[in-house]
Structure 1
């Protein structure tokens, strides 16, 4: 027996997910839903887009969604370009989103579908009286994201509503579960890896990486305020023989100003998946050099799983979701103090091919997603209680 499912993104679209190689946890869950024999009809919903942005995009190529009769993509529309910040206005906004989703499910012939959303505001404030079950998937703690500070009151209200409504919650860390404190079913689903990307012999190093001497310590990810740039600068100055590579997009180039006069720190823009794999597999040690914040303490860093899939020893600041992943992860209180752990990692060298493959097989996305599917496709226990927000 199959179940109809509605999946909604948070703030990015299917086109955004496809452009980045479907590599983030919500993208991977969507891929599982799209291929699962347990899913009947599937409706995928982008976040709201303003009518003005839709018109502006009119001449661009259509989104590369693999549509078929039982797999559809919709983009709900509105006049405003962004969400309001007031809680009551947010509630009104997502009731409108609910109406557009319901209309689309009727057109698709869906009856009492299961809902899974990566947006806490959708999980909390869409009434979903027409749906069966609702599941929220949290890959970050939105309530501690500085970039969305204006919405913290709305996220706090959303977390309360998710808990009180007994919405199912899957999250990448126990810390996110604890902050929501759900009364309904909940499960922790850490990040994983795609065995197809990490199997086989080591590929050749990209030319830009080959020009950097060893030993090479690499950090992968968006270069933003999660990264301890002052700590990286201090570490690199202490260890002029070590070449530190920062691989990923830099939204604010001024953020890395402290690194510009450090000759053994090398920045490179984000690359495609195959080049990322090749870069990691041709380095010597990997770094999780984040600042310690409420946001980073709730993350399940995807990069750590990919570092280990590449066979690299990992030197990390001590964050709860990183503990217990593998014995080749060593910890330091601060990025600036990572020198001894890096020396130890370089002495021990990479994981053996057998150990690396064992890690890849044991941490595959497919093994992670069984728990997510069980939660999404669970039987309904009760109706959602009425919302208590004035609108």
Structure 2
């Protein structure tokens, strides 16, 4: 699959008829993506566009930022900002307001102004009828894009069920309606999101994937802190927030004192996870780098998707489950639609408390064979996911 429709490659040379693109993040910037190691799905997608020989020119746009706070952010983010080149231009649209309005008419004015900045940036960079890929539903729904080529909304979350953004739910609902009516392409990480948008144009479930190179090679040495934790170890990697079933984890830790539960990731609210800190077989580690994540998972005995069942988690395609399987480890997971059908190493339960009965069978099962692990990596590589996303854009 190539980015153009169709677009044969010149043997030993560059792509024939490469295309122009505009990519917009949702609520985080390119610098934010760089700081976290370009590891989230939109980060992976824009990194592919930056590297592909089939992209002639590319404009990467941050979300709106406030003039009042940008000076401090600029200093902090300076070394993470990309260098403009003949191929890629980076734009950070500015405004006086720190946050979007909630009134729908005001939202439309804001995003039409944002679109105007995109059009000017694309024109200044020499883009010709660029394809648009956006991770922001408001850009997807409240813009005309009559100056551009085909457009695709990349839905990695259901913003309409995000508690943190409740005041914008009416705007997201209207954006979904407009995306549907526009016939724009939609690539969503789960069927739940497709069902909520009800797109009339080309659409497809494209779940999360794996950066194969991260998971290849010999078994890495575990980090020193992880090596001191006795086995068996059941590891959860991700933000330690309201998605976690704290009551279920507490029950699991108490029922299985020989199992050491390791939680790796930032905790926005220390209060939320405070109950777990007093349990002797629960180990909480803050945010770690990508290499450390890989080393921890490949040296774990079990892995956990210990989520509560909510509209938000029901619409997610948990990246962590793909990484758990890339590490070759058995997974104990809350039975959510996006994690079904991932193989017999994913053990599903109605609640996290029900993991208690799954621990021993999962440990007895052991890891995937190396052949199985390599097959999983090949089948779930990000390169394959990106082919599917861009095929939608071109209507292939």
TM-score normalised by the shorter chain: which range applies?
over 0.9
2:381 is equivalent to residue 364 of structure 1: yes
Structure 2 gaps, min length 5: 1-16
State the alpha-carbon separation in 2 of the partners of residues 93 and 307 from structure 1. Answer: 40
2:117 is equivalent to residue 100 of structure 1: yes
Aligned position for 1:34: 50
Match runs of 1:245-264 below 5 Å? 245-264=262-281
Aligned position for 2:26: 10
2:59 is equivalent to residue 43 of structure 1: yes
2:71 is equivalent to residue 71 of structure 1: no
Match of 1:201 among 218, 221, 228: 218
**3-state DSSP of counterpart to 1:57:** helix
State the alpha-carbon separation in 2 of the partners of residues 323 and 58 from structure 1. Answer: 43
Shift of 1:62: 4.3
**3-state DSSP of counterpart to 1:260:** helix
- Contact 1:232/1:335 (8 A) holds in 2: yes
Aligned position for 2:208: 191
Q: TM-score, normalised by structure 2?
A: 0.94
Structure 1 gaps, min length 5: 380-391
Q: Deviations over 1:137-185 (max 9, x none)?
A: 0001000011100100000000000001111100111111111000011
2:21 is equivalent to residue 20 of structure 1: no
Match of 2:145 among 114, 123, 128: 128
Match runs of 1:136-215 below 5 Å? 136-215=153-232
Aligned position for 2:259: 242
Match of 1:109 among 115, 126, 134: 126
Aligned position for 1:385: none
Q: TM-score, normalised by structure 1?
A: 0.95
State the alpha-carbon separation in 2 of the partners of residues 8 and 194 from structure 1. Answer: 22
**3-state DSSP of counterpart to 2:153:** strand
Aligned position for 2:292: 275
Shift of 1:326: 1.8
Q: Which structure is higher in RCO with an 8 Å CA cutoff and minimum separation 6?
A: 1
- Contact 2:277/2:284 (8 A) holds in 1: no
Q: Deviations over 1:215-236 (max 9, x none)?
A: 1000110000000011101110
Match of 2:135 among 110, 118, 125: 118
State the alpha-carbon separation in 2 of the partners of residues 166 and 231 from structure 1. Answer: 42
Shift of 1:64: 3.5
Shift of 1:66: 4.5
Aligned residues: 379
Match runs of 1:280-319 below 5 Å? 280-319=297-336
Aligned position for 1:352: 369
Shift of 1:378: 4.4
- Contact 1:203/1:281 (8 A) holds in 2: yes
State the alpha-carbon separation in 2 of the partners of residues 158 and 373 from structure 1. Answer: 22
2:337 is equivalent to residue 320 of structure 1: yes
Q: Deviations over 1:298-345 (max 9, x none)?
A: 111000000001010001110001001122101111101111211111
- Contact 2:24/2:61 (8 A) holds in 1: yes
Shift of 1:260: 2.2
Shift of 1:58: 4.4
Shift of 1:127: 1.7
Q: Greater CA deviation, 143-152 or 64-73?
A: 64-73
- Contact 2:158/2:193 (8 A) holds in 1: yes
Please give the root-mean-square deviation of Cα atoms over the aligned residues, in Å.
1.2
**3-state DSSP of counterpart to 1:254:** coil
- Contact 1:3/1:377 (8 A) holds in 2: no
**3-state DSSP of counterpart to 1:130:** coil
- Contact 1:247/1:267 (8 A) holds in 2: yes
Q: Greater CA deviation, 239-248 or 65-74?
A: 65-74
Shift of 1:375: 2.1
Shift of 1:356: 1.0
Q: Greater CA deviation, 222-231 or 57-66?
A: 57-66
